[in-house]
Amino acid sequence: MDLFDSNKRVNLPRNMIENSMFEEEPDVVDLAKDSTFPALDPDEVTYEPRRSRLLVRGLGENDMEDDEEDCESSARLLGMSFMNRSAARRSNSSPYTRQSPPRSCSRPSARTMVVCVLVLVIVASMTMVLYFLPGCTFTKAGCRKPNKTDPIDTVYPISTNGELFPWAQLRLPQSIKPLSYDLTLNPDLDKMTFTGRTVINMSVLHSTSRIVFHGANLNITKATFKVGLKRIFLCYKPRQQLAVNLSKELEAGQYCVLTLEYAANLSNTYDGFYSSSYTDKDGNKSVLAATQFEPLSARKAFPCFDEPTFKATFLIKINRKKNYITLSNMPKAKSTDLAGGLVQDEFEKTSVNMSTYLVAFIVANFTSLTKNVSGTQVSVYSVPEKKEHSDYALDTASKLLEFYNTFFDINYPLKKLDLVAIPDFLAGAMENWGLITFRETTLLVGKNSSFLEKQVVASVIAHELAHQWFGNLVTMRWWNDLWLNEGFATYMQYMSLQEVFPQLDTLITLHGNLFLSDRFRTLDQDALNSSHAVSTKVSTPEQIEEMFDSVSYEKGASILLMLKASLPGPQQFRKGIIEYLKQFSGLNTDTGDLWNSLTQLSTQHMNVTEMMSSWTSQKGFPLVTVNLTDDQVKLTQEHFLLTSDNATHTSSLWNIPVTYVNDSCSLAPECRQVFTLKTKSDTLKMPGKVKWLKLNYKNMGFYIVDYGKGGWTALSEALSKNVSVLTHEDRASLIHNIFALSRLGRVSFQQVLNLLNYMSAETETSPVTEALLQLNNIYKLLEKRQAFGLAARMKDYILTHFGPLMDKQTWEEEETVSKQELRSALLEMACSLNEKNCTQQAKSLFKQYKESNGTFKIPGDLQQTVFTVAGHSDEDWETLLGMYQHATYDSEKRKMLKGLASTQDPLRLVQILKLSLNGNIQTQELPLIISTVCQGFAGYLFAWDFIQENWDRLIEKFPVGSFAIQTIIKSATSQFSTQTQLNQVQAFFSSLEERGSQMRSVQEALETIRLNQRWMDKNLSTLQKYL
Ligand SMILES: [Zn+2]
């Protein structure tokens, strides 16, 4: 295998660069050459460890350790570089030696007097003076009198050079606003390094003597500031902040320009300005460099005000070799030949103000397909040999762009829109304005790809295009409201596909199966005590990373769906969001702004703010309990909390638009009645006696319903008599809700099985897939507990109830999307349970595929089942590995990889995990590999060991709190159900301290293990009796 070896990069450690700069180029901040800079006061920079430590102790407990570490390391590194600049100007004094005590507070006059007396007295006096001298004598500030007017709680941290850093918060001060950036980048793809020059034009909003901004992993080699003031350049690494401290205040209304030159390594992770490589089918390796800045990594490519509210314009220039192309947010304005055979591409200045996390640039040798769509040049870029896989994306993006232009009544504002498939990319895609980046799987589809694969591509493009309005044009003020970006884009992705591609309606659209099952999974996640409110306070980088979760995305989208279904008139929701986008175009907003816009347009004076804030400001969701007596229905709400030992949340109340249908009218949308439940309980009067009620019509609301014993029995009986008495969404919703209630302990498992009795008559995708998923979860728990007898009975139960439907599935091409989805779910389950018919069919397809030398095609929706069966087989595993190495089509490769990772052979499991960790299999796939390994009996304990042993390498690749790390933790622990396992997981994560112990996903993992343990203890005897 000749995949990219990350160890081969010319990777000069950052501290080596900084030290070498320090030794060879002492004049690192080249102030002397800039006539606008007056000479610095020689006393401006000093080194005084005693003082540093005293001040450090003044910080909070957690900050202290960080700061101590930073002071010790960075004083030797970047900080020293800046000190050295002062040292050079002081000609021959070393920055490492203590300076003469300043005049203000020391006692040099005593020394003058003593010289006049005796030498012995001199020595004695000096000894006394030095002994009693306070530590502050050696500092620049001398012995300051305590300033009684300083706020007591503002304790400034220490910069890398030992100076006080002039800012003590994570978020930047609001006194300076960046207006424009002029950015020149010079990447070297041979050495995997880059240099840059950033000019920031700023305006002063409030008078201030400090400019604080972000920079991370950048070695600043030169800084100029064109205002005739004395200034010191400071760096505080723990918060990735840089500062210019000025001797005099800048006045409000003043403009100023800061120019910074710097050098850095291209990142070898997936954020910042990072390098990537790929090998084409002839075995030639190519390298490229791309960016991923959201949320906090623009600062790793250029110094900037890296918060979403600091919107500015960007003029970007990139130097390249002639065999590469460059791309950025804007169209290319011109190319200029430079010395040494390089070319400089200059892009047009952005025509919009944008947040730093949306800036992007790429240097690669890609090719493209292009089309003009209503005045916008739409292009799809890929590696040259995959150009033929770009048509579908180009066509889909063009249709969706036209749709959004009309739907939002605001035209896409840039002249071009590039969609780029990056061979090594961690996220699914990233909405950089005008330059959207994707994984190859989420953008490229082959001509023979299945409908399901095309759906994925259409769905991701729809999501990212929606961001060009939601997120790019109107941006959340801070990461606490990330859902305004992600919830909306997720909602729009389903909504737009339904409108633009109605033929796909059965799968991933607003009313399709995928969004429905996403809502179920989000309810499961949000039922944990460790969940969080949609809009929630975030203050650390890890917390910001953790916002990229199902609550921001799917719950955000779910509550928008619920709101839309509650608003009178189909156009009202659309009018409200158009109003919101127009009112805040180019600006930043918070959740309240959105609800206000929708309230203002409400024709029936519906208070959207009142209703929706109960869904965004509280974590979790309500459980609505129904008590039906003749024509009276008592509804009660409470917080659905799986671990309900915490009494503090029992007071949560939601404003719930409860919808319901009953036995006399239950299918058509006209049957739907609405009742708003705002209080703890309320009573609803029916026009006459009803046999049963089904609440939450088509599961469009974000809540779970308990019908009580009588209610569940009535619904189970009704379904047993006639499966079509409810819509398929309602049937899936009943299945989901009853399993959730069983987990909560409100419904016995016997009742669950009662409801499932109707399943033999079920043929619709969403109820079947939901029931299979729930039963498989229990099967996996039993298997992992080594309750093999019960696991075998569960297997029989599944095969008895679903066997006839499994047997009906064909193995040829299937046209309907919904049938493809149903078939793949049923057959994957059947083969994973070793059902003989299934495994034989899969093996025979694999054999034909293997022997046909690429001419035989396995239907796309069956590929996963076939490759997984091959991965289980001794003889086929090696063949599959060979196929994986030579396959170019990413979507197929991923399925092969999942097949390889599902092996039960421990040596092969080790091999596959190591290959990915070392980068021989793209490390972007490691979360997928780990989650697949964990599914198998042989792999799940081994995977947990692997994670513990390699934790530091994992968080080197994927940031603490990131979605990748969340996936790894969740998949490794979600099948644990014993006290010993709980203790192990707890002990491991608490030992990590700042390397991950505080993550929300750790709390979720522990809570899930406790719940598994509780459910098992409670239900093992029921399973023995009824399975
Ligand atoms: Zn998104």
Tens digits of residue pLDDT in 109-135: 444 444 444 444 454 454 444 444 433
CA distance 426 to 438: 9
pLDDT at 352 over 90: yes
C-alpha 265 to ligand 1 mean position (Å): 28
CA distance from start to end of the chain: 48
* Assigned token pair, 742: 């069983």
Residues whose CB falls within 8 Å of the CB of residue 22, separated by 6 or more in sequence, listed in order: 28, 77, 80, 81, 84
The answer to whether the annotation marks 463 as part of a ligand binding site is yes
Beta strands in 215-299 (DSSP E): 219-225, 231-236, 241-250, 255-265, 272-279, 285-292
C-alpha 490 to ligand 1 mean position (Å): 7
Give the pLDDT of residue 302. Answer: 98
Percentage of residues in the chain with pLDDT exceeding 70? Answer: 83
The answer to whether the annotation marks 499 as part of a ligand binding site is no
Range 637-661 average pLDDT: 83
Confirm whether 464 is a catalytic residue.
Answer: yes
Give the pLDDT of residue 115. Answer: 44
> Domains in the chain, please, with CATH?
156-365 (2.60.40.1730), 366-473 (1.10.390.10), 475-619 (1.10.390.10)
C-alpha 217 to ligand 1 mean position (Å): 26
C-alpha 436 to ligand 1 mean position (Å): 11
| Digit-coded pLDDT (tens) for 480-514 | 999 999 999 999 999 998 889 876 655 555 567 88
C-alpha 669 to ligand 1 mean position (Å): 31
Range 594-618 average pLDDT: 85
Give the pLDDT of residue 145. Answer: 40
* Assigned token pair, 382: 């890929």
CA distance 908 to 897: 12
Percent helix, percent strand, percent coil in the chain, to nearest 5: 50, 20, 35
Instruction: Estimate to the nearest angstrom the gap between the alpha carbon of 55 and the chain centroid.
Output: 36
Give the pLDDT of residue 447. Answer: 73
| Digit-coded pLDDT (tens) for 446-464 | 877 878 888 889 999 999 9
C-alpha 775 to ligand 1 mean position (Å): 31
Q: Which residue(s) pair with 204 in the sheet?
A: 176
| Digit-coded pLDDT (tens) for 395-435 | 999 999 999 999 999 999 999 999 999 998 888 899 999 99
Percentage of residues in the chain with pLDDT exceeding 90? Answer: 67
**286-314 burial, b if ≥16 CB within 10 A, otherwise e?**
bbbbbbbbbbbbbbbbbbbbbbbbbbbbb
C-alpha 377 to ligand 1 mean position (Å): 22
Q: What's the mean per-residue pLDDT of the chain?
A: 84
| Digit-coded pLDDT (tens) for 510-547 | 567 888 999 999 999 999 999 999 999 998 999 999 99
C-alpha 295 to ligand 1 mean position (Å): 11
Q: Which of 346-360, 806-820, 826-840, 960-974 has the lowest mean pLDDT?
A: 806-820
C-alpha 783 to ligand 1 mean position (Å): 37
| Digit-coded pLDDT (tens) for 938-995 | 898 889 999 999 999 999 888 888 889 999 999 999 999 999 999 999 999 999 988 8
**Do 598 and 568 meet the contact criterion of CB atoms below 8 Å apart?**
no
SS (H, E, C) 787-816: CHHHHHHHHHHHHHHHHHHHHHCCCCCCCC
**Do 534 and 487 meet the contact criterion of CB atoms below 8 Å apart?**
yes
Give the pLDDT of residue 54. Answer: 24
Residue bearing the bigger pLDDT, 362 or 248: 362
pTM of the predicted protein model: 0.83
Residues whose CB falls within 8 Å of the CB of residue 198, separated by 6 or more in sequence, listed in order: 181, 182, 183, 184, 259, 260, 262, 302, 303, 304
**Do 688 and 549 meet the contact criterion of CB atoms below 8 Å apart?**
no
| Digit-coded pLDDT (tens) for 365-396 | 999 999 999 999 999 999 999 999 999 999 99
C-alpha 365 to ligand 1 mean position (Å): 27
pLDDT at 596 over 60: yes
C-alpha 403 to ligand 1 mean position (Å): 18
* Assigned token pair, 954: 């994992």
C-alpha 394 to ligand 1 mean position (Å): 19
- Tracing tokens 């950015």 back to the chain, one arrives at 183
Query: Out of 48, 464, 762, 770, which one is annotated catalytic?
Result: 464
Sheet holding 241-250, edge to edge: 208-214, 241-250, 231-236
C-alpha 466 to ligand 1 mean position (Å): 9
Amino acid of residue 566? S
Residues with CB in 5 Å of ion ligand 1: 486, 489
> For the chain, what is the radius of gyration of the CA atoms?
32
The answer to whether the annotation marks 467 as part of a ligand binding site is yes
| Digit-coded pLDDT (tens) for 670-710 | 999 999 999 999 999 988 889 999 999 999 999 999 999 99
CA distance 714 to 755: 10
CA distance 317 to 329: 11
C-alpha 487 to ligand 1 mean position (Å): 8
CA distance 492 to 509: 10
CA distance 1005 to 986: 9
Give the pLDDT of residue 508. Answer: 56
C-alpha 291 to ligand 1 mean position (Å): 16
